[in-house]
Chains A and B, each alone.
Chain A
């Protein structure tokens, strides 16, 4: 088969964190094939595709499209070269019709300046007919379902005559019934000579749809395989890799432990959602242990974080803190009762970049830093200075947080929450966006907390992290706990085994819920 695109030795380093998102990655896409790009979160799949689509400029490496070397500078440029991308989050104008959305940016002209609406409808209808989509050009986007909106995104690319179509986790937002027609469409497109790259970490999709699969791990390409020649377990093993021992100084797991946080069959149901976001989740977090929650994104890790953080009320079940029922507690109450919580999104949730470092550091303990409603500025400054020193943050109390580097902002959030901790602390994806050294620093603090007797709840999609830190591991799959690994088993559990729980290939019997 002819080669549609070839990426050679792509290197992309994010200067803010020094993170090597792509470390010499090569990828070949053949004409008329469906290629699945698989890998864990943070493996560098999306970065690689952003490079191909002109959203990121690589530090080194080369790209050949149809055999010609190209420097792709922008999505517009990529479009002209016949490359299109459908993002996970749709970029549509809700109040416009399908035709208006599709033609946006390359509208058919009337008398050079005018917008020929009728012609736009005709052109878009032609594309819809040609590919047998179920919508009409004159439909308003607001009235469409999620699956139909995705069709609009695909039509947008087809209208621009792309030959290479990239889809970023297209099924993440779709219901089961919507996935089938999408796959049919993609297959037809491929048969008609379009080349398709699908970013995914769902094994079934890879098996059902793709001709070939390329697997990435930690910024590197593990390999490209013909899908029919590789089985799901092998793909899973390659995605997860061998575990890397982090050599952390953990004191033996204490036997005298008391329950701190207990969740009893909690469920979260949201309207318009086919299945519950969390279903019958039960666990107890004890003092002096790290309880790890593993899972692939979209399987309930984020929901669990929101529940523990008091952002999302549970629909049923109950939560206890030191045997006191806290099921109906919001963040405000939870904070008063000693919630310490490092959110996954340290920038949007965990900090205010426009406020000073000192101001960021007192958000949860502001009562301590005010007397009769007046802020104690000198106490705030001293507090900030001591924390900055303790966590070796490069910055000073009065600087706006936004002027610090990414790694330092994360440390500020971490310092605040560790300082805030009373008997339990929630870490969600604590090392996202951190370089290795900073990550290690976080791990050491976490172990320290555990050794001091804290109940540490670690929510993470990074298996290396979970395996080297957690004393017990709960694996979430589709909103339920698929497996709980504890006791002796924790010492022999492999990534491969965890991976099979995470990807739904296996399930511990006592935790299955049909």
Chain B
């Protein structure tokens, strides 16, 4: 999959490679319209809110952008793992654990100011990196499948964090199952009132740039990509195979963990029980749409956030139910991730 996407993106005929995405986009639009006509009694209203809802007010627009922040981190995390030839299915647990550790650290070091904030975010990234790196280590040592181990570790971690959030570390002052709130000095500033959008967005964009630079401009990034493209070739060239079974996983988990911390500092301010459910999987969807290209993660995350917030809007303002909105969303992503459609125009598709 990585191989294929590379070919497409560096294809000399860039115009031709735009055919696939365009076809996908049109098909998605047409199917949304058809579904609305079929499933809604007020298709005009539904479509209006679906397409224009997310952009018609500052509030919805800002919230849409805010949704994209963890998606960008998750998308980057998966992309890095994939570029290095590994798979990380533990995003759910890594985000959640990262968020939890960041929260606890922020509460502990609340007097440290900016240093405490940075330290807390780093700690969140470290825990994510350790969780995912552990699966990489198992793969290196005993050739286990990191697809399974990341998933299992993640499930376990979610339960452990749940225990702390609902038990010993629960904030007794609220009815929510949540930890205490982090001090206000640690919270990111709002950048698009009255929406929830925080300045964490800038950090997300910086992360994209850094990951892109790391992958394509540094020696380590080069080695990681070569290992991902052809592990045999990397070994033959003298690249340490063991290290690159672990390192991409560490980076991947760290980005997820950092994403979790970002959401805490920007939106939730406390670890609410299972608040991040779905973010990990959605990050995977974003990475698939972006075909594991760091730069493409931005539009992919925005697209994902747009569709999601469109569905939410249509649900609020018309007769569309949650299930229908989910079906529409699923259909769109199904189309977007179809590699056959993506390759239209770039080469003859062999079925």
Measured CB to CB, the residues of A under 8 A from B are 309, 311, 331-336, 341, 343, 348-356, 359, 363-364, 366-367, 369-370, 373-375, 377, 398-400, 402-403
- Cross-chain contact B219 with A373 (CB below 8 angstroms): yes
A118 to B261, CA, bound (A): 58
Residues A356 and B238 in contact in the complex (CB < 8 Å), given A351-B230, A377-B217? no
- Min distance, Cβ A83 to any Cβ of chain B, angstroms: 24
Taking A331-B235, A334-B238, A398-B10 as known contacts, 15 extra A-B pairs with beta carbons closer than 8 A to each other, sorted by chain A number, are A311-B235, A331-B237, A331-B238, A343-B236, A348-B232, A349-B233, A352-B230, A353-B229, A354-B3, A355-B6, A363-B237, A373-B220, A374-B218, A375-B222, A402-B7
Query: Number of B residues contacting the other chain (C-beta, 8 Å)?
Result: 25
- Taking a contact as CB atoms under 8 Å apart, the answer to whether A348 and B230 are in contact is yes
Q: Which 5 A-B pairs have the closest CB atoms?
A: A335-B238, A363-B237, A370-B219, A352-B229, A352-B230
> How far is it, in angstroms, between the C-alpha of A364 and the C-alpha of B236 when the chains are bound?
8
| CB-defined contacts of B229 to chain A, threshold 8 Å | 352-355
Residue of A nearest to B236 (CB): A349
The residues of B that contact A331 with a CB separation of less than 8 Å are 235-238
- Name the residue on B nearest A370 (C-beta): B219
| Complex: chain B residue closest to A355, CB-CB | B229
* Contact A359 to B238, CB < 8 A, known contacts A354-B2, A354-B3: no
Contact indicator A332/B239 (Cβ below 8 Å): yes
Bound Cα distance A403, B239 (Å):
24
Instruction: List 29 contacting pairs A-B, 8 Å CB cutoff, sorted by A.
Output: A309-B236, A311-B235, A331-B235, A332-B240, A335-B238, A336-B238, A343-B236, A348-B233, A349-B232, A349-B233, A349-B236, A352-B234, A353-B229, A354-B7, A354-B229, A354-B230, A355-B229, A359-B222, A363-B233, A363-B236, A364-B237, A366-B222, A366-B237, A370-B219, A373-B218, A399-B10, A400-B6, A400-B10, A402-B3
Q: Which residues of A contact B234 (CB under 8 A)?
A: 352, 363
B219 & A400 in contact (Cβ 8 Å cutoff): no
Residue from the list A375, A398, A399 in contact with B218, Cβ < 8 A? A375
Which residues 161-190 of B sit at the A interface, judged by CB distance below 8 A? none
With A and B bound together, what is the CA distance between A352 and B237 in angstroms?
A: 11
Q: Are A353 and B236 in contact (CB under 8 A)?
A: no
In the assembled complex, B312 has its CB within 8 A of some CB on chain A? no
A354 with B238, Cβ < 8 A, contacts A370-B219, A373-B218, A375-B218 known:
no
Q: Does B291 contact A (CB under 8 A)?
A: no
**Which residue from B10, B218, B223, B236 sits with its C-beta under 8 Å from A350?**
B236
Q: Are B7 and A400 neighbours in the complex by a CB distance under 8 Å?
A: yes
Decide: A352 and B226 in contact? CB cutoff 8 A. Answer: yes
Bound state CA distance, A280 and B30, in angstroms?
71
Query: CA of A374 to CA of B233 in the docked complex: distance in angstroms?
Result: 21
Residue of A nearest to B222 (CB): A375
Collect the chain B residues with CB atoms within 8 Å of residue A332's CB.
Answer: 238-240
Distance (whole angstroms) from the CB of A381 to the closest CB of chain B: 13
Contacts of A353 in B (CB 8 A): 3, 229-230
Closest to B216 in A: A375
Among A334, A341, A355, A400, the residue within 8 A (CB) of B226 is: A355
Interface hits, B186-243 → A, CB 8 Å: 217-220, 222-223, 225-226, 229-230, 232-240
C-alpha spacing A350/B225, complex, angstroms: 15
Let me know if A352 and B233 touch, CB within 8 A.
yes
* Bound CA–CA A60/B219 (angstroms): 50
Fill in one digit per residue for B233-271: 1 if any A CB lies within 8 Å of its CB, else 0.
Answer: 111111110000000000000000000000000000000
Task: Report the minimum CB–CB distance from A329 to chain B (whole Å).
Answer: 11
Q: How far is the CA of A359 from the CA of B217 in the complex (A)?
A: 11
Whether A359 contacts B226 in the complex (CB less than 8 A), given A349-B236, A354-B7, comes out as: yes
Contact with A364, one of B7, B218, B220, B238 (Cβ below 8 angstroms): B238
- Whether the pair B237, A374 counts as a contact (CB closer than 8 A) is no
CA distance A336 to B238 in the complex (A): 8
Q: CA of A180 to CA of B191 in the docked complex: distance in angstroms?
A: 80
How many angstroms from the CA of A366 to the CA of B3 in the assembled complex?
A: 22
- B55-99 near A? 1/0 per residue, CB < 8 Å: 000000000000000000000000000000000000000000000
Residue among B3, B225, B237, B240 with max Cβ neighbours from chain A (10 Å):
B237
Shortest Cβ distance from B219 into A: residue: A370
CA A352 to CA B225, docked complex, whole Å: 10
How far, in whole Å, are A360 and B6 apart by their CA atoms in the complex? 15
Q: Is the CB of B217 within 8 A of A374?
A: yes
CA of A110 to CA of B97 in the docked complex: distance in angstroms? 52
Query: Closest Cβ of chain A: how far from B280's Cβ, in Å?
Result: 27
Query: For the complex, what is the distance from the CA of A246 to the CA of B2, rounded to whole Å?
Result: 43
Chain A residues contacting B7 (CB-CB under 8 Å) are 354, 400, 402-403
Chain A CB within 10 Å, residue with most, of B2, B229, B239? B229
Residues in A with CB closer than 8 Å to B236 are: 309, 311, 331, 341, 343, 349-350, 363
Within 8 A of A (CB), among B1-39: 2-3, 6-7, 10, 12
A370, B218: Cα distance in complex, Å? 8
Given contacts A335-B238, A374-B217, A375-B217, contact A351 B233 (CB under 8 A): yes
Which residues from B are CB-within-8-Å of A402? 3, 7
B226 to chain A, nearest CB (A): 6
Q: B232–A355 contact, CB under 8 A?
A: no
A331 to B237, CA, bound (A): 7
When distances are taken between beta carbons in the complex, the residues of chain B under 8 Å from A373 are 218-220
Q: Which residues of B contact A398 (CB under 8 A)?
A: 10
In the assembled complex, the CB of B230 is this many whole angstroms from the nearest CB of chain A, namely 4
Please indicate the chain A residues that have their CB under 8 angstroms from the CB of B10 in the complex. Answer: 356, 398-400
Whether B3 lies near A363 (C-beta < 8 A) is no
Q: Which of A336, A366, A374 contacts B223 (CB 8 A)?
A: A366
List residues of chain B with CB within 8 A of the CB of A399: 10, 12
Complex Cα distance A444/B7, Å? 34
Chain A residues with CB below 8 A from B225, complex form: 355, 359
- Which A residues are CB-close (under 8 A) to B223? 366
Q: Are A335 and B219 in contact (CB under 8 A)?
A: no
| Neighbouring B residues of A333 by C-beta, 8 Å | 238
How far does the Cβ of A66 sit from chain B's closest Cβ, in whole Å? 33
Interchain nearest-CB distance for B61 vs A (Å): 38
Q: Which chain B residues border A349 with CB–CB below 8 Å?
A: 232-233, 236
- Which residues of A sit under 8 angstroms from B217, Cβ to Cβ? 374-375, 377
B226 contact set on A, CB distance < 8 A: 352, 355, 359, 363
Instruction: Looking at the assembled complex, report how far the CB atom of B1 sits from the nearest CB atom of chain A, in whole angstroms.
Output: 11
* Nearest B residue to A367, CB-CB: B219
- Chain B residues, Cβ within 8 Å of A359: 222, 225-226
How far, in whole Å, are A369 and B237 apart by their CA atoms in the complex? 14
List residues of chain A with CB within 8 A of the CB of B238.
331-336, 363-364
Q: Which residue of A lies closest to B3 (CB)?
A: A354
Q: How far is the CA of A334 from the CA of B232 in the complex (A)?
A: 16
Q: Give bound CA distance, A311 to B233, whole Å.
A: 11
State how many angstroms separate the Cβ of A372 from the closest Cβ of chain B: 9
* B240 CB contacts on chain A under 8 angstroms: 332
- Among residues of A, the one whose C-beta sits closest to the C-beta of B231 is A352
A-facing residues in B274-317 (Cβ within 8 Å): none
What's the least CB distance linking A279 to chain B, in Å? Answer: 26
- Report the Cα distance A374→B217, complex, angstroms: 6
Q: Residue among B2, B12, B218, B236 with the most chain A CB within 10 A?
A: B236
The CA of A349 and the CA of B222, in the complex, are separated in Å by: 17
